[in-house]
Chain A
């Protein structure tokens, strides 16, 4: 195990040294300056909507409609956050619902997709190609096709206006995650499996004690993707959740959109800012894994 890691590290350092070597020449330096001259303004442009979101969240109502727009609010209304969260809708309940659904789905995805990915990467069986074919086919399927039949199915099951339609399917795999994990599992040396089989270990133990410990980056990637997708999910809750006490944060955020142009922008942006915090935390802590995972999904096809 450690020898694999050491080998990988050696390759990475070699790559790193190679690329450094290239940057010593003068022309490369010019390239960097030109690239930075384009990238910095673009980065500011990309951050502007977020800055604007926070800035609007801290404004008084009249200041929002001032023209030319004010970038730094005066006075800074810290109280908007408290008011937005506590004075209108039960946001504590929405937060709880979002956390509950998201956590369930992250765990469900991890369990169901790991099992299937191991089977596709390491086990031989008749019909395997066909079963794996269904995973690949569903990779490019527009999910919207499923809305109506799923809605009818869940309504017939009496799951409408409950969290079940948003939580149960997570335990039955997700094509993209299965594919991603399979790609990673295929890179684990077969010798490790053979050795464990000779020692009398079953496939479940091999998965649990060899593959899972070796695949932390890939599993973390799936967890992060799943977290972000479910945390931000809007369409599902919009279809199934009617009772206010079942709503999630994205639904609550949208509720500030007024009917007659009197939207409370400052409160809406305050909620948007708050709901962004968990995503930001996870994104920045998991950034390296995340980047590796996305790269893995695209290149090694």
Chain B
């Protein structure tokens, strides 16, 4: 047997490099096993059990019962619908809004750093603080939003207290947190060579034609990234629900993570909640997969 470490010869450079590689990624690998990757497998395993999460002796293996129960639960399906509604609304409107701001900021605006900071500010503010301020702004009687709408003659809805308006209210709120997306898109715009536009202008291209044929394809990698990240993010909405609505009024703002949270930490059904978590994981992975699949056809990568 040829033991590489004990054959008397010094290790080859490649071998030494390999050892250093694994030395450097050891923290990541440990984290992967215990904190990030391992828990996903654990969640899958737990989803086939009935367990309160306290004593290991109480674990009962129940096969697919949790999944059957979940798919038969109206509240679960409402949480799914609400999450998808919120995700579609906030990702779609948020990306358009972020692109709109980025295009405006890309015009050699004086004070660009100021605007960039202002639009970024809500994204670095604590979610709790934002949620608390907005609860107050969205108050139907004394809130700032309905006061503003009143000034232009609109009788504002009940927002967080209205089953129809609670999700739109949360979507509107999410539009204030497009800072990172705006900056990614702005950087993408600034990377587009000016010469492409000049060539198009010589050919007499109209403004929309330039946007559609130069800006969008050149920006597509950045747009793609923004779409993927904000989709994943929108499925994770929790702080707003916890602080502002607690899933209400009634169940009209129950979203997946809130449903999961309730099952796990209010009813202590760790097995059932793990099944919910695993479905959340699968749904997000499928969505990301679809985006990558579409992306591989539409996204234009230089070189």
Contact = CB atoms under 8 A, between A and B. Distances in A.
Given A46-B119, A276-B129, A22 B40 contact: no
A276 B124 CA distance: 9
Nearest to A20: B108
A138 B39 CA distance: 12
A235 B261 CA distance: 10
B228 interface: yes
A126 interface: yes
B118 A43 contact: yes
Contact of A152 (B22, B53, B124, B238): B53
A120 B277 CA distance: 30
Contacts of B284: 140-142
A183 interface: no
A152 B284 CA distance: 23
Interface residues of B, number: 97
A54 to B, nearest CB: 10
A60 B236 CA distance: 36
Nearest to B114: A43
- Secondary structure call for the A interface: helix
A91 interface: no
Contacts, number: 281
A231 interface: yes
Residue picked from B130, B136, B239, B288, most chain A C-beta under 10 Å: B136
B133 A297 contact: no
Interface stretch (B24-32, B67-75, B157-165, B209-217): B24-32
A252 to B, nearest CB: 10
A249 B116 CA distance: 27
B182 to A, nearest CB: 9
A173 B27 contact: yes
B107 A67 contact: no
A32 B141 contact: no
Interface in B30-74: 30-32, 34-40, 42-43, 46, 53-54
A172 B34 contact: yes
Q: Which 6 A-B pairs have the closest CB atoms?
A: A172-B31, A295-B187, A298-B184, A149-B39, A125-B21, A119-B24
Given A52-B136, A67-B141, 14 more contacts: A28-B107, A64-B142, A116-B24, A125-B18, A142-B236, A142-B284, A149-B38, A172-B31, A202-B20, A250-B128, A276-B125, A287-B113, A291-B116, A299-B222
